[in-house]
Structure 1
Amino acid sequence: MTFQSLCPTDLITVLMTLGDDAPHVALLRHDQNTPTFEESHHSLQKRLCHWAETLTHCPIGHMEQLYTFSSFPMQGQTPHIHITYLALSSSHPQSCHGSLYHHFPWEDRRSESGNQNLARFITKIEQWASGHEERQSRIAPAFGLYELPWDDTRVLERYELLWESGLVPRSIPADDVTDGDSRRLLATALSRLRARIRYSPAVFELLPKAFTLLQLQQAMETVSGRLMHKPNFRRLVLHQKLVEETGTYDRSTVGRPARLYHFRPAAMASCYLEAAFLPLETPTS
Structure 2
Amino acid sequence: MDRAVQDQGVLIGLSVVVFALRDGEAVVLTTGGGPDGAGLPFGPFQPARHRTFELALRDFVAEQTTFPLGYVEQLYTFGDAGRESPRAEMGVGARRVVSVGYLALTHDPSAVAGPGSAWTPVLEFFPWEDWRRGRPDMIDQRIAPALAAWVAEAETAARAARVDRLFALKGARWNEQQVLERYELLYEAGLTPEAARDHGQPARGAIPGRAMVSDHRRILATAIGRLRSKTKYRPVLFDLTPDTFTLSQLQAAAEAVSGLSLHKQNFRRGVERTGLVEPTGRLSAATGGRPAELYRYRGAEPPAAASPACPCPASDNRNGTLAGNARAD
Q: Counterpart of 1:229?
A: 263
- What's the offset of the Cα at 1:58? 4.8
> Which of 8, 20, 23 pairs up with 1:20?
23
CA apart distance, 1:126:
2.7
Structure number with bigger Rg: 2
Task: Name the structure 1 match of 2:77.
Answer: 68
Deviation at 1:24, TM superposition (A): 1.1
Is 1:8 paired with 2:42?
no
- Greater Cα shift, 209-218 or 88-97: 88-97
Selected match of 1:273 from 290, 311, 321: 311
Kindly state the Cα deviation for residue 230 of structure 1 after the two structures are TM-superposed. 0.1
Whether the 8 Å CA contact 2:275–2:302 is kept in 1: the answer is no
Partner SS for 2:224: helix
1:216 matched to 2:250? The reply is yes
**What's the offset of the Cα at 1:63?**
2.2
CA drift at 1:6: 3.7
Distance 2:187 2:56 in 1: 34
For 1:89-100, list aligned pairs within 5 A: 89-93=106-110, 94=112, 95-96=117-118, 98-100=120-122
How far is 1:146 from its partner?
2.8
User: Which residue in 1 is equivalent to 2:181?
Assistant: 157
Aligned residues of 2:58 and 2:69 also touching (Cα < 8 A): no
3-state SS of 2:278 partner: strand
Counterparts of 2:258 and 2:123 in 1: how far apart (Å)? 11
User: 1:123: which partner in 2?
Assistant: 145
Question: Which residue identity is paired with 2:144?
Answer: I
- Give the letter aligned to residue 64 of structure 1: E
The 3-state SS of whatever aligns with 1:198 is coil
Partners of 2:43 and 2:139 lie apart in 1 by 35
- Give the one of 25, 42, 60 matched to 1:29: 42
- Tell me how far 1:272 sits from its aligned partner: 4.0
In structure 1, stretches of 5+ residues that fail to align are none
Could you tell me how far apart the structure 2 residues matched to 1:34 and 1:44 are?
Answer: 9
Aligned partners of 2:12 and 2:217: how far apart in 1?
19
Q: TM-score, normalised by structure 2?
A: 0.73
* Letter matched to residue 126 of structure 1: A
Flag the 1:59–1:84 CA change in 2: closer, same or farther, 3 A.
closer
1:264 is aligned with what amino acid?
Answer: R
For the residues of structure 1 that align with 2:97 and 2:237, how far apart are their CA atoms? 32
The letter for the 1-side match of 2:127 is P
Give the letter for the 2:131 counterpart. Answer: R
User: For the residues of structure 1 that align with 2:59 and 2:277, how far apart are their CA atoms?
Assistant: 28
- Judging changes above 3 Å, is the alpha-carbon distance between structure 1 residues 254 and 174 closer, same or farther for their aligned structure 2 residues? closer
Provide the C-alpha distance between the structure 1 equivalents of 2:59 and 2:250, rounded to a whole number of angstroms: 27
Give a deviation string over 1:51-97, Cα, whole Å, max 9, x none.
7578544563x4211111133439x8221111110000011152336
Name the structure 1 match of 2:32. none
The residue aligned with 1:251 is: 285
Partner of 1:190: 224
- Give the number of aligned pairs: 268
- Flag the 1:48–1:72 CA change in 2: closer, same or farther, 3 A: closer
Deviations 1:29-60 (A, max 9, x none): 232579945x7xxx754774587578544563
CA distance in 1, matches of 2:178, 2:242: 28
Distance in 1, Cα, partners of 2:47 & 2:18:
18
Task: Specify the code of the residue in structure 2 equivalent to 1:184.
Answer: R
- CA distance in 2: counterparts of 1:182 and 1:23, whole angstroms: 17
CA contact (8 A) 2:123 2:129 kept: yes
Q: Measure the CA separation in 2 of the matches of 1:88 and 1:125.
A: 34
8 Å contact kept, 1:199–1:273: no
